[in-house]
Amino acid sequence: MTVNKFKFLGEWPAESRAAVEPSLAGLEWLVPGWCETVWIAWASVPRDNLEAEASATTSIEYPYRWAKIVVRPGFLDESVERRRSALIHELLHVFIGPLAEYAEQMADRLMKDDAPKFHETVREELRVRHESAVQDLAYAILGRERSAVAIDPAARRHACHPWSEAVRP
Ligand SMILES: [Zn+2]
């Protein structure tokens, strides 16, 4: 029996939900064992708002066994292919998140006060490697879903900051 771990949270415009639901279809297998629920929330920030730049972002609450993906209006401007790619990317953050978060917290604890220059460099390097690992896996999965995947340089614009907005549902 497959347990549905995706749960829609809060108010959703019908148009937005109709765009997100098919993009998530069949991706349950990507939810790691530790995560009981992936909340899917809609944030209707204005499209010219800087925070709206990423079409979706993810936060995790590892000790409480849930994650949250916040989808923004920019998602609706994406092609069907890019929507799928963006949600696979976000789900992979749930996989890699506990490890990445640990490394980030260690850098904070060990360097933030005593070695701020090292801290800044290490945090930036961790961010880049975290995003790169997630995107490499996303491409590998998309490659299996479709025989030919266009690796779009614009995908680099999908810059998300998954740990900056942990808000409990
Ligand atoms: Zn990301």
The pLDDT, as a whole number, for residue 52 is 55
State how far Cα 10 lies from the chain centre.
18
Q: Kindly give the residue spans of alpha helices, DSSP state H, lying in 12-114.
A: 14-24, 74-77, 80-111
- How far is the centre of ligand 1, averaged over its atoms, from the C-alpha of 1 (Å)? 30
The pLDDT, as a whole number, for residue 51 is 57
Q: Which amino acid is at 104?
A: E
Nearest to 78 by CA among 90, 96, 92, 67: 90
The pLDDT, as a whole number, for residue 47 is 62
Q: Kindly list the domain boundaries of the chain, sorted by start residue.
A: 6-157
Q: Phi and psi for 42 in degrees, rounded to 5?
A: -110, 130
The pLDDT, as a whole number, for residue 144 is 85
User: How does pLDDT run across 45-56, given as a tens digit for each residue?
Assistant: 766 665 556 889
Element (H, E) at 67: strand 66-71
* Rounded-to-integer distance, Cα 158 and Cα 57, Å: 9
The residue ranges of the chain whose pLDDT is under 50 are: 1, 148-149, 155-157, 159, 161-169
- How far is the centre of ligand 1, averaged over its atoms, from the C-alpha of 61 (Å)? 16
- How far is the centre of ligand 1, averaged over its atoms, from the C-alpha of 134 (Å)? 7
Q: Which amino acid is at 78?
A: E
* Rounded-to-integer distance, Cα 137 and Cα 107, Å: 25
User: How does pLDDT run across 81-104, given as a tens digit for each residue?
Assistant: 999 999 999 999 999 999 999 999
Give the three-state DSSP class for 40.
strand
Full-model pTM: 0.82
- How far is the centre of ligand 1, averaged over its atoms, from the C-alpha of 162 (Å)? 7
Neighbours of 60 (CB within 10 A): 25
